Structure 1
Amino acid sequence: MSDLHIRCAALSDIDTVLRFWREAAEGKSITDDHDGVARLITTDPGALLLAERDGLLTGTVIAGFDGWRCSAYRLAVHPDHRRQGIATALMEAAEQRFVALGGRRIDAMVLEVNEQAHHTWASAGYHREDHWRRWVKSL
């Protein structure tokens, strides 16, 4: 993974991120637009993490913290780069961010129909809380 670089998104990355999500992310969010991503980056500049390899965007995760709970959204890896540890590296970076901010619990929003993602979250140490339909992990 030495050639993988993880960094925070900048406003100049918005169009690239939106194109990436159309190709790599499962499902579309109502906030998948320029204004929504710009608001995220402006409000919490460290929340949108990007994984790049050789200057190419290969993965994303939104690592949001509201002062109470940590939330992970839009964990996505490009189909051509899956099963190479990118999601793991992104979540490790997200967890480091959360710990630095004082977070103690992570909630991950995962589509019900995305069975491949369920396996990914489970192998990363998260467990499913069926009554809330989310995946969680204590830090």
Structure 2
Amino acid sequence: MDDLRIRAALPADLDAVLAFWKLAAEGTSISDDREGVERLVARDPEALILAERSGELAGTVIAGFDGWRCHLYRLAVHPDHRRRGIGRALLAAAEDRFVRLGGRRGDAMVLDRNDQAHPAWRAAGYAPQPQWSRWVKPLTD
């Protein structure tokens, strides 16, 4: 992984990130649009973390911190680059960020149906919390 580069996304990366998520991420969200991702990067320029291999986008994670809790979203690795440590490197970068910000616990949004991702999250030390259910309300139509 000598050619792996981890960095924060820039506004110029956002179209590539959105296209990448259509290819590499499981499912889509109502916030997967240019305006939503621009707002994220403007509010917290270090939250969207990218992994590049040989100059190409190979993975992403959103490491959001609200001052109290650490939240992980959109961990995605390009299908051609999976099982090569990119997801692990992205999570390490996110967790390092959380520690620098004073975070004490990370939680991840992982779809129940995304069976392919569950072993990777477990290997990274995350565990499902069956006592909590996630309730969601879209705030826009």
The verdict on a shared fold, with TM-score over 0.5 as the criterion, is yes
For the residue of structure 2 that corresponds to 1:125, the secondary structure is coil
**Alignment-derived partner of residue 2 in structure 2:** 2
The CA deviation string for residues 61-114 of structure 1, in whole angstroms up to 9 with x for no partner, is: 000000000000000000000000000000000000000000000010001100
Give aligned-pair identity as a percent: 65
TM-aligned CA deviation for residue 33 of structure 1: 0.3
**Alignment-derived partner of residue 107 in structure 1:** 107
**Alignment-derived partner of residue 30 in structure 2:** 30
**Alignment-derived partner of residue 139 in structure 2:** none
User: Is structure 2 residue 95 aligned with structure 1 residue 95?
Assistant: yes
State the distance in 2 between where 1:78 and 1:133 align: 29
For the residue of structure 1 that corresponds to 2:128, the secondary structure is strand
State the distance in 1 between where 2:127 and 2:117 align: 12
State the distance in 1 between where 2:132 and 2:92 align: 24
Q: TM-score, normalised on structure 1?
A: 0.94
Instruction: Name whichever structure is richer in strand by fraction.
Output: 1
TM-aligned CA deviation for residue 132 of structure 1: 1.9
CA RMSD of aligned residues (A): 0.9
**Alignment-derived partner of residue 13 in structure 2:** 13
Query: Which letter maps to 2:7?
Result: R
Q: TM-score, normalised on structure 2?
A: 0.93
Structure 1 residues without counterparts, runs of 5 or longer: 135-139
TM-aligned CA deviation for residue 133 of structure 1: 4.8
Alignment: residue pair count: 134
Aligned runs of 1:36-47 on 2, under 5 Å?
36-47=36-47
Query: Which letter maps to 1:104?
Result: R
